[in-house]
Amino acid sequence: MSEEIDNKKIVVFTGAGVSAESGLQTFRDSNGLWNNYEVNDVATPAGWENDPALVLKFYNERRLEACEAKPNDAHKAIARLQEEYEVVVITQNIDDLHERGGSEHVIHVHGELRKVRSTKDEELIYDIGADTIITGNLCEKGAQLRPHIVWFGESIQNYEISVKHIRTAGKVLVIGTSLAVYPAAGVLKKARYHAEKIIVNLDMEKKPFGYKWIRGKATSVVPHVVDLWLGGKCVV
Ligand code: OAD
């Protein structure tokens, strides 16, 4: 892939806030998941070691919620950008609302709820849709299945390819993320100086250098940014 910046290429980088108005809880807002669950119990290798049934129950519930949720106006607006641009969605989200909202090129860096994998061979990945898994559900090599999710202390997925894409994007649109989790948040720092870079978020503790922050809800703001970019104008 060439390192040249392409004005017809957009990277959209998203977090839980883009799915909040589809009814899915974020992690760190006041009603967020990490206020109601102990991260170490459900999202770490040690938690899995200690109580796999609890971890499976947690992700079974998340999977069911995500399957019942519908893409919102922000997910759908992002897909409209494909009319005029090459669009790569890089998401920290484990739901599939971007795909169901019409985005064709979606890269998941923290895994996918619909998928489970073998604890013996990480290449053995299965799409289970809305199904649940319990202890005793095994892969074809006889090992327990686990969620295909990146837990704290595990390696992020698709980091290098995400950096390659953002390095060549003429525009970057960031939506609904606290940017609290690295290395995923660090991908944004790899965007080019001359790229147009916008963040749509309800609040922002530390804005990355060179990004303009538009404060507001994803479903209210994102369709306008998309209209402007499809109309060829600049957001100021
Ligand atoms: P967070 O919960 O940390 O942040 C959500 C962000 O979305 C906050 O900055 C909110 O202000 C914003 N927000 C909430 N509702 C919004 C709305 N309707 N419109 C626009 N913005 C809104 O979620 P993430 O940044 O996605 O990782 O969290 C990053 C990672 O932490 C997740 O991928 C997950 C979690 O631990 C793993 O589990 C590995």
- How would you write the pLDDT of the chain (236 residues) with one tens digit per residue? 568 999 999 999 999 999 999 999 999 888 899 888 899 999 999 999 999 999 999 999 999 999 999 999 999 999 999 999 999 999 999 999 999 999 999 999 999 999 999 999 999 999 999 999 999 999 999 999 999 999 999 999 999 999 999 999 999 999 999 999 999 999 999 999 999 999 999 999 888 999 999 999 999 999 999 999 999 654 54
| Catalytic, out of 110, 165, 194, 224 | 110
Measuring CA to CA, how many Å separate 54 from each of 33, 48, 135?
Answer: 15, 8, 10
Measured in Å, residue 15 CA sits from the centre of ligand 1 at 5
* CB of 156 sitting under 6 A from ligand 1: no
* CB of 169 sitting under 6 A from ligand 1: no
Index of the ligand 1 atom closest to the CA of residue 218:
19
Contact 104, 85 (CB under 8 A): no
Measured in Å, residue 26 CA sits from the centre of ligand 1 at 5
- Which pLDDT belongs to residue 236? 45
What is the model's pTM?
0.96
Only one residue has tokens 């005793």, namely 136
Q: CA 145 to CA 134: how far, in whole Å?
A: 8
* CB of 147 sitting under 6 A from ligand 1: no
Smallest Cα–Cα separation from 173: which of 9, 23, 19?
Answer: 9
Q: CA 192 to CA 210: how far, in whole Å?
A: 9
Smallest Cα–Cα separation from 199: which of 212, 188, 181?
Answer: 212
- Active-site residue 148, yes or no? no
- Which pLDDT belongs to residue 205? 86
End-to-end C-alpha distance for the chain, whole angstroms = 31
- Which pLDDT belongs to residue 1? 58
